[in-house]
Amino acid sequence: MRSMIIAKALKLRWPSINIHFILNEQVAYFHDCPYTVHACQDSPTKDVVRVNAIIAKVSPDLVFFDASGRAKQFKQAKAIGAKVAFISQHNKKRSRGLKLNRLFNTDIHWVVQPDFCIKSISYWQRAKLAFFNKKAPQNIGPVFEVSSSAYQTQLIEQFDLIKNDYFVFNAGSGGHIVARELAADIYYQAAHTFYRLTKIKCLVIFGDNYPKALPDDSDITCVKSISNKNFIALISTAQGSVISAGDTLLQCIALHKPCVAAPVSPDQPARLQLCQQKQLVLAAEATPDSLVQQALRLIEKQQAKTLISNMAQLAPVKALAQIVDDIAALFSLGNESDVQKNSVQQTSSQQKTTQKVNVQDDN
């Protein structure tokens, strides 16, 4: 999803570019990608030979490794003259990107976490960066697409909602299991109880990976999945949200929207604790009772005001805009005419047009 958001933003900035994705042919979204797709029989990260062959054949100007990629794949991209961009989403993945076998072959490295959610890089890592004259990874926060007020208004009318008078419940992608129960079902139960107690409209987004049929409920609006743009729009116009402690938590903070969050996967408790310590979220356990209890606190005006005030002190980095601007700087391209000029030069000298390849892992 993040790669799709970035690809769309680059296409809007430079309509002439060609975008390719390398995907595991077994993933559910394989046939939904609107760009040129190259198939792997397994995760692209594991299929080194196939990915390297695709990179050699396409001969792109830019390769994105989005939380994926082996060192040999980075090396192959540089060998054919491409710029290499790497996205990491936590400390372990960032450290992997700072190993010498990747560092030598990386032009830019973004970390999709805000400063307060990730440790500073170590003294040894800083020394390596300085010695080899490499830029430090940039903490840019979550990547998402922001919509206009008019778009948001139109969307909530489709769902028969009123701005700032409904709650969004979402446990992530829909496949997480907590105590042998689907997290999405736990959040749905919480939404049902919350509505019964408050009569505030609730929208439950179950997620792409939810394996069951949606409940038939006249009180709760149940949705299987929606686009990231629509998801962000609904979060932006809600009174509050009850979410998992994944990327959505960071998105709510960047949008200055009050939320309750609970961890539904092993990587989330640490993030939630950091955000709770800064009083940016009401933390809960992934149980219906705990989620409802905290959601009831969230409708208190003073509590919501405190959370929003704390969020506002952390000026959000516009991650998507920064990525696009950084790519422009990487190629010294300011606008569409510059890109067109560059494409012509590439065609005459190397018989290719400006292209971008996303190597997207299946997890």
Q: In terms of domains, do 210 and 349 share one? A: no
pTM of the model: 0.79
pLDDT of 351 strictly over 50: no
Q: In terms of domains, do 118 and 165 share one? A: no
Question: Is 187 in contact with 171 (CB distance < 8 Å)?
Answer: yes
Q: In terms of domains, do 184 and 280 share one? A: yes
Q: In terms of domains, do 238 and 356 share one? A: no
Q: In terms of domains, do 14 and 99 share one? A: yes
SS3 content of the chain, % helix, strand, coil (to 5): 45, 15, 40
Q: In terms of domains, do 333 and 281 share one? A: no
User: CA–CA separation, 104 vs 108, rounded Å?
Assistant: 11
Q: In terms of domains, do 280 and 322 share one? A: no
Domain with 218, as residue range(s), is 149-312
pLDDT band at 355 (very low <50, low <70, confident <90, very high): low
Q: No. of H helices and E strands in the chain?
A: 15, 15
Q: In terms of domains, do 174 and 306 share one? A: yes
What's the pLDDT score for residue 359?
Answer: 64
Cα distances (Å, whole numbers) of residue 209 to 27, 175, 195: 11, 5, 25
Q: In terms of domains, do 211 and 264 share one? A: yes
Q: In terms of domains, do 58 and 84 share one? A: yes
Q: In terms of domains, do 102 and 205 share one? A: no
Query: What is the mean pLDDT of the segment spanning 301-328?
Result: 90
pLDDT digits (tens, 9 = 90+) for 106-120: 999 999 989 888 889
Cα distances (Å, whole numbers) of residue 45 to 5, 59, 163, 325: 20, 19, 42, 27
CATH number of the domain where residue 229 is located: 3.40.50.2000
CATH number of the domain where residue 136 is located: 3.40.50
Residues contacting 55, CB < 8 A, separation 6+? 63, 73, 76, 77, 80, 82, 357
Q: In terms of domains, do 262 and 349 share one? A: no
pLDDT digits (tens, 9 = 90+) for 198-249: 999 999 999 988 999 999 999 999 999 898 899 999 999 999 999 999 889 9
- E strand or H helix that includes residue 243: strand 240-244
pLDDT band at 361 (very low <50, low <70, confident <90, very high): low
Question: Is 327 in contact with 8 (CB distance < 8 Å)?
Answer: no
- CB crowding 199-231: b at 16 or more within 10 Å, else e: ebbbbbbbbbebeeeeeeeeebbbbeebebbbb
Number of folded domains that form the chain: 2
Looking at 50-59, 218-227, 330-339, which range is the least confident one? 330-339
